[in-house]
Amino acid sequence: MVIEVAPRPGFRAVGSYTFLDSQITRSGSPFDPALREGQSLLRRPRHSGSLRVFWDWRRFSVTSSAVVIGRRVDSDFIGLLPPLTSSPSYTKWDLGWNYRSFHGLSYFGIVENLLNKSYMEAPGFPALKLTFRAGVRIDF
């Protein structure tokens, strides 16, 4: 489900929600707890959603986005004891800006993981903590 609103010029918000009721119907690895029949599909959260807000004012724009990923079935595939069978839910919030100067020159910046949360999109691959990037773009 996606809902988009634009209550005034230069301001827009888009929200989305996904409910996924997946199930393994036949397994090639019936002894792996994360891959047994009846289990939800690997790395597919049952609940997920996002909210993105866009604001444009003259030469300046701001974008804010939040993503929420629910708990999901997962596996480390190396046989840890006890075996990893799920990954916890997480929320990620990013904030970006852009200033369009003259003659095709733009300045931009983005702060990722604004809440400085620790999470892994896949086991063994931790996401970066609070990250800031900025730069200049020249269009010609």
- One pLDDT digit (tens) per residue for the chain, 140 residues: 999 999 999 999 999 999 999 988 888 877 777 778 888 888 899 999 999 999 999 999 999 999 999 999 887 777 666 666 788 999 999 999 999 998 889 999 999 999 999 998 888 889 999 999 999 999 98
Q: Is 128 helix (H, G, I), strand (E, B) or coil?
A: coil
Q: Tell me the per-residue pLDDT of 55-67, one tens digit each, with 9 for 90 and over.
A: 999 999 999 999 9
CA distance linking residue 39 with residue 76, whole number of Å: 16
Query: Within 13 Å of residue 70, how many CA atoms lie on the same side as its CB?
Result: 13
What pLDDT sits at residue 79? 65
Report the predicted TM-score, pTM, of the whole model to 2 decimal places: 0.81
Given a contact cutoff of 8 angstroms between Cβ atoms, the answer to whether 107 and 115 are in contact is no
Q: Which whole-number Å values give the CA distances from 131 to 42, 69, 97, 99, in the listed order?
A: 29, 20, 14, 20
Three-class secondary structure of residue 72 per DSSP = strand
Q: How far apart are CA 84 and CA 72, in angstroms?
A: 11
Is the separation of the CB atoms in 121 and 92 below 8 Å?
no
